[in-house]
A and B are shown apart, each in its own frame.
Chain A
Amino acid sequence: MSVSRVSAIGALALTGALALSACASENPAPAGNTAGAGGTAAVNADCFEGDLKAEGSSAQKNAIDEAISAYQTACGDANIDYQPSGSGAGIKQFIAKQVDFAGSDSALKTEEKDGIIESEEAKNSCGSDAWNLPMVTGPVAIAYNVEGVDKLVLNADVAAKIFNGEITTWDDAAIAELNKDVKLPSTPIKVYFRSDESGTTENFTKYLKAAAPEAWPHETGKKWTGKGEGKEKSAGVATATQGQDGAITYVEWSYAQQNQLAMAAIDSGSGPVELTAESAGKTVATAQQVGTGNDLALKIDYATKEEGAYPIVLVTYEIVCSKYADAETGKKVKSFLKSFASDEVQGSLTTQGYAPLPAEVATKVKAAIDAIS
């Protein structure tokens, strides 16, 4: 009897330890996290009471979480819920009126794809135009792990060849030419890609296609079409890269930072550009607006030669109805997004691996939010 009791206690202790270690590894947020949350308390919004539901892109999860916590610090009665279940799921739920707004890695598609036109469906569902409001800039890093190499410059052409399996070792002449003062080892290159369909893949392939059309003959899309070894989600590719000498991957900035991966600078013709909030913002500022009026869908010029602009960025949108059938919901959405687009909240996103919206775009976004009813 006493023996089985001892074993039961042992079992309890073991489960407890497991539960604890699970907690510990849950949130590898950077140290700046708490400081960022503290700095955003100064949100002055006209608070609403009740629930607001949103769903969509996981790429903006940390950003919107930050915005939500800032908003709820100011407005204790507001309850905002964001489900990071993926852009496709978010748009689907938005069209089905299950959520009040959607987060998406790409603007609503205006041409038919898979049998539906997203923008039309959204318009029908809203009973008014649906707007794409760029809100979060998530730069995509080309992260690598090569022993002895802590500075690396790539251009679109070389990057495309690496990710297409044409360049297979780190001491390849093409890489060496861009990195004259770096001693490159002969380690084979291991490419990791996202095995799930993702907006990060879509934006990265769009960049390769736009900036190096010859070296990247594949289609662009959410599904990876290059070479390499697939890993699940951002965390998967980041972990795999961290654990393998000679590895390279494309991953959201925050994951590269959290996993302490080295990131390549991009040379688009006017010198190597490191990935910073500022350099990523520059690319967004040069983007062309393709939506009309307050629909701020952007077309990012990935092939930009603008000096100091880091070209691989992912802009996530909040997709909203321009006029909500329920005026109360409209007010809630407006109030929250206003706070999200404010300089305070945008500025605090840098600690989460996002870049704030550049001033030109932010002004337009604020104007559009004001027009929501």
Chain B
Amino acid sequence: MSTVTGVSAADELPGPDGRKPLTGDRASTGRLGDRLFGGAATLSGVIVIAMVSLIAVFLLAQALPALTNNSENFLTSRVWAPGGEKPAFGILEFLWTTVAASTIAMLLAVPVGVAVALFLTQYAPMWMRKPAASLVDLLAAIPSIVYGLWGLMTFRAFVKPVEQFLQDNFGWFPLFAPTKITGGTIFFIGIVLAIMVLPIVTALSREVFDQTPVAHKEGALALGATRWEMIRTAVLPFGKPGVISASMLALGRALGETIAVTFLVSALSDGTDWTWSLFNGGETFASKIANNAAEFSNPSKTGAYIAAGLVLFVLTFVVNSIARIVIERRKAFTE
């Protein structure tokens, strides 16, 4: 029988005899410390829920007036002119850039991150595991502005030839269609984001892989599995929910990453033709808002940007919910 992280013996019931799942009887000694701790924990929980709900309410309240005055379709328009007498704005372009860049980041970071975690927990010699793990964690400690500067000054030169190669040889494929953008393409931003979220994926995956019960691993090996087969049959299934959680956290960061992206993006001028190409420029939600925050000169304009922020909020929320559902289903499956 396999187990899942965060699932205790209590969750494994009802057992064959149909007993009810174990629960605490909420017993309390009635002592001050007991009540204080219970109260503090409850309060913290309530505060978090209240904060998220209030942020949603704030975003909605600020965005609604602007949305009702909008003369374009908010979800499908590519125009962004929120100021003036007739505000007109739509988020299609930001949505595409944000989602496309984050997807690239995930496609690169998750497999590599999981591989790094497997290496650190299963393959690396013992003396190497700890220092290597702290090095990976250090990657997470680098401020995003440093990633931005590094990407702009140093890393760009390495990615450019790759982009050129893809455009020259696979230009017929819509995603690789040639464009005139020289700087921060969606593709490039995706790669930088991948590096930024890699430590998140690695650190969390490493933790769960480390928790794989030794009995499972030894069992697999005893049955004649090679090391790879052992990983496939024991470590990976055990760690899957953890990896999914890690990926979702990472995706959340990729979607909302602001400073590094603001540094790197190439904005498109008005009236640029639509293209699916990953070598096009474009601004993400976060970079657009950050870049223009100094010019929030009136409520309706501010509202437009906040509405864009609201979409990002909803997007992240949806992504997280999907992750929850996946993890829940996974749990049900293993029981």
Chain A residues proximal to chain B, CB less than 8 Å: 3-4, 6-8, 10-11, 14-15, 18, 22, 25, 58, 85-86, 88-89, 91-92, 113-116, 188, 190, 193, 195-197, 222-233, 236, 239-240, 243-244, 247
The 4 closest A-B pairs by CB, nearest first: A230-B267, A86-B294, A195-B267, A7-B131
Within 8 A of A (CB), among B99-153: 127, 130-131, 134-135, 138, 141-142, 146, 149, 152-153
CB contacts (< 8 Å) of A6 on chain B: these are 131
Q: Is B23 an interface residue (CB 8 A)?
A: no
Summed over the interface, the residue pairs from A and B with CB atoms below 8 Å come to a total of: 108
Contact between B135 and A196, CB atoms less than 8 A apart: no
Contact between A3 and B127, CB atoms less than 8 A apart: yes
Q: How far is the CA of A361 from the CA of B267 in the complex (A)?
A: 38
Within the complex, what minimum Cβ distance (angstroms) separates A29 from chain B?
18
CB contacts (< 8 Å) of A236 on chain B: these are 263
Q: How far is the CA of A231 from the CA of B127 in the complex (A)?
A: 46
Q: Which of A15, A226, A243 contacts B269 (CB under 8 A)?
A: A226
Given contacts A18-B146, A195-B267, A236-B263, are A229 and B130 in contact (CB under 8 A)? Answer: no
Q: Is B194 an interface residue (CB 8 A)?
A: no
Within 8 A of A (CB), among B131-188: 131, 134-135, 138, 141-142, 146, 149, 152-153, 156, 180-183
Per-residue contact bits, chain B 272-308, to A (CB 8 Å; 1 contact, 0 not): 0000000001010001000110111111110000000
Q: How many B residues touch the partner, as a band?
A: 35 or more
Q: Which of B138, B268, B287, B294 contacts A89 (CB under 8 A)?
A: B294
Q: Which of B152, B268, B269, B295 contacts A86 (CB under 8 A)?
A: B295
Given contacts A114-B300, A239-B152, A240-B183, are A225 and B270 in contact (CB under 8 A)? Answer: yes
CB contacts (< 8 Å) of A227 on chain B: these are 269
Can you sample 21 A-B contacts with CB below 8 Å? A3-B131, A4-B131, A7-B131, A11-B138, A14-B138, A15-B138, A114-B298, A114-B300, A115-B298, A116-B298, A188-B180, A193-B269, A195-B265, A195-B291, A197-B292, A223-B81, A227-B269, A230-B281, A239-B153, A240-B182, A240-B183
Contact between B269 and A224, CB atoms less than 8 A apart: yes
Q: Which of A7, A88, A188 contacts B134 (CB under 8 A)?
A: A7
Which residue on B lies nearest to A193, using beta carbons? B269
Q: Is B83 an interface residue (CB 8 A)?
A: yes
Q: How far is the CA of A116 from the CA of B302 in the complex (A)?
A: 14
Q: Is B45 an interface residue (CB 8 A)?
A: no
CB contacts (< 8 Å) of B18 on chain A: these are none
Q: Which of A88, A225, A233 contacts B296 (CB under 8 A)?
A: A88
Which residue on B lies nearest to A112, using beta carbons? B85
Contact between A229 and B131, CB atoms less than 8 A apart: no
